[in-house]
Structure 1
Amino acid sequence: MVDVVGHLGMALLWLAPVWYYVEHRRTAALVVAVGFWFGMLPDVDLVLSEWAAGIHHHGLLHTVLVVTVLAAALGPLVGMLFRRIGDRTGWVSVRAQEKALQIGFLTVWVPSLAHIFADMLSAPDVSTRIEPLWPLVKGPVVMMDVLWYQSWWATWGLLVLGVSVNVLAWNWTDGREESSDEVADATG
């Protein structure tokens, strides 16, 4: 597994398409800024393993099923947060506020899946095997083992790449917000 910084970098990479799909620049920035932190959600098992027997690192919380359940539970809360921010600041477009629950779900789900993928790239040799498709598939699926466990270059490389892609996307979307606001003003 890559270190925390690498997981956050992978989350940024997986969140980068939001710049393409969300036409409102500030909404996309908010989704990336909030979603980035959910890149560490599956590692909650490190804390829970101290309190509950049977929970171990790379166990149940590192499955698509549990990440989806957590996103379904936490996503609406994130969506309500987006609505509230949009109402008060204008940082969330009206269109995004209408789809806030779906956007909230994706804001939690995508970076959590990115975490599992990053662990699949680097965990098989020295850590507990990850069974991301449990209960449908017992045992690990394709394990790539392309990143050395806690590799400095991989961890920081993922962060630098994730930040760079999002900065480029921020610059690429420069002016999109104004043009969509002008269309709304012309039609409304």
Structure 2
Amino acid sequence: MVDVLGHLGMALIWLAPVWFFTDTPKTALAIVSTGFWFGMLPDVDLVISNQIVGIHHHGVFHTVLAVAIFAAIIGPLWGLVVKKLLGGTTWFSPDAQKRATAIGVIVVFVTGLAHLFADILSAPDVSTRIEPLWPIHKGPIAFIDVLWYQSVWATWALFLTGLVINGVLWYRYNN
């Protein structure tokens, strides 16, 4: 498990394709800059585990099923909030406003999957390994341990990589 910035960086990396599918650079920037925060959503189990017995870190909230449920519930709400706040401005194009709820579902789903992927890459050495395909498949899907648990260099590398990729795409589409 990388630290918070690592998860946010992975979310930025996974959201980078937004630049190729939106009609304006400002819309892409609005989606990426407001959506990457959902890269921390599976870690809600850290808070809930203090309140509900049986919930633990890297448990049910670190599954594709939970991410899909989050995306189905929170995604449309995020889309509507962004549409309300940025609709009618140059930051959220009319085309994006028409698809705001769908964009929200995709953003929350992609960033949630980015979180799971980062944990697959880094959790096995010290922390509990995640079971991302539960309940279909119990147990981890792979033992990939390429990032040291709470590695400062990996955390910062992921975050800076996400910023650089999106910065380059911002520059590309504005020039």
Say whether the fold is shared (TM-score over 0.5).
Answer: yes
Structure 2 unaligned residues grouped into runs of 5+: none
- Residues 12 and 162, structure 2, Cα contact 8 Å, conserved in 1: yes
Structure 2 counterpart of 1:105: 105
Once the two structures are superposed, residues 149-179 of structure 1 have per-residue CA deviations (whole angstroms, 9 ceiling, x without a partner) of 111111100011000000000011115xxxx
**Runs of 4 or more off by more than 2 Å in structure 1?**
85-90
Structure 2 counterpart of 1:182: none
- Residues 79 and 104, structure 1, Cα contact 8 Å, conserved in 2: yes
- TM-score normalised by L of structure 2: 0.97
- Residues 72 and 105, structure 1, Cα contact 8 Å, conserved in 2: yes
- Residues 14 and 114, structure 1, Cα contact 8 Å, conserved in 2: yes
Structure 1 unaligned residues grouped into runs of 5+: 176-188
Structure 2 counterpart of 1:121: 121
Q: Distance in 2 between matches of 1:33 and 1:123?
A: 26
Q: Distance in 2 between matches of 1:114 and 1:5?
A: 13
Once the two structures are superposed, residues 132-151 of structure 1 have per-residue CA deviations (whole angstroms, 9 ceiling, x without a partner) of 00111111101211001111
- Residues 87 and 93, structure 2, Cα contact 8 Å, conserved in 1: no
Say which SS state the counterpart of residue 143 (structure 2) adopts. Answer: coil
- Residues 41 and 112, structure 2, Cα contact 8 Å, conserved in 1: yes
Q: Distance in 2 between matches of 1:69 and 1:143?
A: 25
Q: Distance in 1 between matches of 2:153 and 2:119?
A: 16
Q: Distance in 2 between matches of 1:151 and 1:129?
A: 16
Structure 2 counterpart of 1:38: 38
Once the two structures are TM-superposed, the CA of residue 82 in structure 1 deviates from its matched residue by: 2.4
Structure 2 counterpart of 1:74: 74
| Paired AA for residue 84 in structure 1 | K
- Residues 23 and 95, structure 2, Cα contact 8 Å, conserved in 1: no
- Establish whether residue 172 from structure 1 lines up as the match of residue 175 from structure 2: no
Higher mean displacement: 42-51 or 20-29? 20-29
Higher mean displacement: 6-15 or 81-90? 81-90
Q: Distance in 1 between matches of 2:26 and 2:160?
A: 22
- Residues 16 and 32, structure 2, Cα contact 8 Å, conserved in 1: yes
- TM-score normalised by L of structure 1: 0.90
Identity of aligned residues (%): 57
Structure 1 counterpart of 2:161: 161
Q: Distance in 2 between matches of 1:3 and 1:91?
A: 30
Once the two structures are TM-superposed, the CA of residue 90 in structure 1 deviates from its matched residue by: 3.0
